[in-house]
Structure 1
């Protein structure tokens, strides 16, 4: 077993999604296209919200933060993957791997917390409409985002420090396209019992609590909508949270599907392919979901480009 100092000089090999040479150009083109769509789509959404005063509300404040996090979330993994394909190299340094893992945990956690915060925002808007602007004041909105950042950064720092204590014996192969926490722990040649305990406990606490909050918020939302007498009123109430509900369903269904399928098949390669759904596809689709299903966004875009709003 090598010492900690030797460990820091080691390198890892990211095996990616496929080792077939003929598939590399296709994978490069596909992921480059998805990455560019993700970045420009979310940047456009941020620009629309910032530029239009009608959208300076708590709902769109949280949406702006989610779009920024989605850009960062995808940028932690895809550029390195594209670089490795372009240079025909699979190498990532130990420091690079730790850094990638650190930021990946931060932004994946922020995605979860912001979705929970947005569910609470929709709960207040539908269940307590008369008190909405009083409850969701700028101070509370800023505090909710700040607490999301603090929690996510603290969790990531804890997990990273736990990995730094591990020893890696030789140059190791990671059957993934990025340095994922679970893969790093599995590759260690020192005792990983404490790492596994911390990882699974944190996952249950820091992912389970936001998911419970989302489910509770939407149970109250559905209950409130069902009490509305008119069909038009029900449709209007549901339309205010339809986009967010779509994003929540897409993110949690794909991420849970990845971990359940990987646990069932024990195939790291299958897990890597499935991870594309919530690490790349979901951030790419989010701006389209919010723009196509949101009348306010479409009207704001028309105002920006000078098209008359009917």
Structure 2
């Protein structure tokens, strides 16, 4: 859809109300178009419902649109720091049965986890219900940001960050571990659906360092990883340089995006991140070329 100048920026990491964003999928596309982005990918957590909403809209936009997804994955044992890896997928067929099975599994895990976390909050004396939280999701997947929003609106916390630091973050009183897809299976499912798998925001992996990144990316490349998210609001110039070097060495694509969530992260804007993000249009064309080559 659409055609843009090579000078335009792109945003290949955004979230809609289908997962934990506050803008609908079509609102995201219209906003990206309005500010002149050359391409957009919606990469909701563990669902492609937002992508399907855009594809089913039946009208065209003056912007290129790429199907996307962000999968919560279990890291390799040697790199497990008690957290998860996020693996982005681009260019997948949303109707692929393998992707559908994987996403059903992840969504079932969310549905099991959410009421358990609500009960923990209630046991701490907090006036919160699953119905209230689900209402914040506007029909999309329910997650911790929606719980934080209810806590904030009821005056139980001052802001979203406090909700996570006191109650909802890992190791906090209301936190419940969730199922994560094995990283190899996530990559394999993306590839079988015709897509390219990309490691999201590697600079956020705690204490990994450049040597650890080289080992991790090499291991994931052998399993089919196709790219690494390089341009990202929390990647400083040194991290961007390191990732560019590793991508060149390992023949990985560079990608990038704002990780826009709307009001849930009100310091991050679509396209520009914290104000200084610029993801070149060439990132999108290289990704498209690789997809077309299969």
- The structure in which a higher percent of residues are strand is 2
The structure with more radius of gyration: 1
- The structure in which a higher percent of residues are helix is 1
More RCO (CA 8 Å, sep 6+): 1
